[in-house]
Structure 1
Amino acid sequence: MVMPRKGYVKDSLQILMVKLIGVKQLESQQLLDADIGQNETYYLHLLSELQASDLDPLTYAFLERKLAYLTSISLEKELQQSRWINLGLLFMVVALSFVIVKTRNKRQELTVSVLSKQERTVRGLILQGKSNKEIANELFISLSTVKTHITNIYSKLNVANREELLQKSTGTST
């Protein structure tokens, strides 16, 4: 049995008109904004049905404008919330970076402070670019004692050579 298509389309348009009248009633009672806020998906679907129908666009233009306005307000709120979240995350990154740098500097200070007074002196002369022989002459100690101090410094600061010691002391890397 084939149903007449015209009757179905006419009924569909009448149902849409009834829905539109209901929406206009909500608007006249100033309840439409709240209802859209609670049932946004329904209203967006209704609008797409109205746009697909043969109804004159002027009959539902108010609903289009209302949905566009309320959607833009909703999007603005979400954008503002996103900005605050991004600002909070940026603050956290800056704070975390500050903590990392501070911790690294303290760790470097602690490793240097584990050196004996003589080892700190030898380290300082190494950082000035002095050779082992120059260090020995300046501190009035033997060359083998300088080498022993340097071995202890390298071990305590976890470096393998003068270049690493310089990089670790100045905080640069190559």
Structure 2
Amino acid sequence: MIFVFRMKHTLLFFIFLNFLAVRAQYQFKGQLTEEDTGKIIYLSIIEDYRRSSRVYLDQVIGRTSTDSLGNFVFEGDNLSELNNIYRIHTDECLPNEIENTHFLGNCGTTQSILFIASNTDSVLLPKTLNDESFCAISSTNVKSELLLKILALKNEMAFDFSEIRGDASKKLNLKKWFSRWHQFGEASQEPLAELFIYGFLSDRQSETYRYYLEDLALNPYYEALLDRLKTSYPTAAFTKLYEEELRADQYLIDMDVSSDQTSSWWIYLLLGLSILLNTYFLLGWKKRKNDSSQVAQLSAQEERIARAMAHGKTNKEIAQEFFISLSTVKTHVNSIYKKLNVNTREEIKTILFK
């Protein structure tokens, strides 16, 4: 009896699992305005956060059209079980233009919405009270509307910066906003939302890029985000892309630091050499000046005798050259030694011929 009871419960359990598997499918539906009825609606998956600003042909995974009331729906079970970023959009291009200009930014009045979802989510994109499409989300996934909130906050940031003047004020404002974005991202508990934020803050074409590099050099947030991505989306392409970009930017920072250190080393070296040379020439100038003042103390005869001494002539040779007595030469020599403050003829030579 116990065996039969267990078999019955096991069978019921597998039936329940099969039921869940059948029900495990997504449904994304919405409604456009009446004037948009009959339009083509496209569903895209965005696996590269660098390509979220506009529609790309290779991102499109589904296409449908609205009914007479403007309703549309995408459903199936072919999406990832993990969260991903999706876009639903429509535009004024004709379907047969898809290979030419359709996804190259040339279509007029494109309407779109970005959201986070998985293969098991039901997402509703209703019209607003103002009869606007793609402005609101109702979903079984509480994280679906995070991207709408981020875009609204991004507009607030742009407005905030429009009133800022001066580089110092901009840097302070960037510090405030980066902190605010990081806090928002962590509070969302969704690394995909953080990655979406990172995408535009680290954009090389953006004014935020230079500050991002400064922040990356000091802030542990970016490594923590990598850990969160590896935990939640270990095999996703965007996790690998983020890690590669992070390492490339860190290498760039290290190269700048190394370059700055090398430049500083050369600056210090040149500064040291300059100080040494200036000291050398200054001391030499002072010594030459001092030597000149000492030589100036000599009489004309003493200077002539001193120069003869410097050329290596003996007292006797000097006496013969200047037609004076040897004792007179000795008297002049003693006077020269005292006035020049020297003890040898070599020192006299150094003073006179330097």
- Bin the TM-score by the shorter chain: 0.5 to 0.7
Q: Is the 8 A contact 1:20 1:60 kept in 2?
A: no
1:143 correspondence with 2:326: yes
In structure 2, distance between residues paired with 1:151 and 1:169: 17
Q: For residues 78-135 of structure 1, give each alpha carbon's deviation from its aligned partner in whole angstroms, at most 9, with x where no partner exists.
A: 4334434433443343333333333322222221111111110111221232221222
In structure 1, distance between residues paired with 2:316 and 2:194: 98
Paired residue type of 2:276: V
What's the secondary structure of 1:27's corresponding residue? helix
In structure 1, distance between residues paired with 2:243 and 2:213: 15
Q: For residues 12-71 of structure 1, give each alpha carbon's deviation from its aligned partner in whole angstroms, at most 9, with x where no partner exists.
A: xxx8x9568535522323345413403523249827x84xx8756825222111111123
1:128 correspondence with 2:311: yes
Paired residue type of 1:60: E
* Unaligned 5+ runs, structure 2: 1-185
Deviation at 1:74, TM superposition (A): 3.4
What's the secondary structure of 2:343's corresponding residue? coil
1:86 correspondence with 2:263: no
In structure 1, distance between residues paired with 2:194 and 2:223: 12
Q: Is the 8 A contact 2:217 2:253 kept in 1?
A: no
1:65 correspondence with 2:248: yes
Paired residue type of 1:35: Y
Change (3 A) 1:97 1:141: same
Q: Which one of the candidate residues 22, 25, 36 is aligned to 2:194?
A: 22
Q: Tell me: higher relative CO, structure 1 or 2? Use CA pairs within 8 A at least 6 residues apart.
A: 1
Provide the aligned length of Structure 1 versus Structure 2: 154
For the pair shown, the structure with the greater C-alpha radius of gyration is 2
Which stretch has the larger CA shift, 66-75 or 17-26?
17-26
Partner of 2:211: 34
Structure with greater proportional strand content? 2
- Alignment RMSD: 3.4
TM-score with structure 1 setting the length: 0.67
TM-score with structure 2 setting the length: 0.37
Structure with greater proportional helix content? 1
Which stretch has the larger CA shift, 148-157 or 34-43?
34-43
What percentage of aligned pairs have identical amino acids? 25
In structure 2, distance between residues paired with 1:20 and 1:156: 89
Deviation at 1:154, TM superposition (A): 0.7
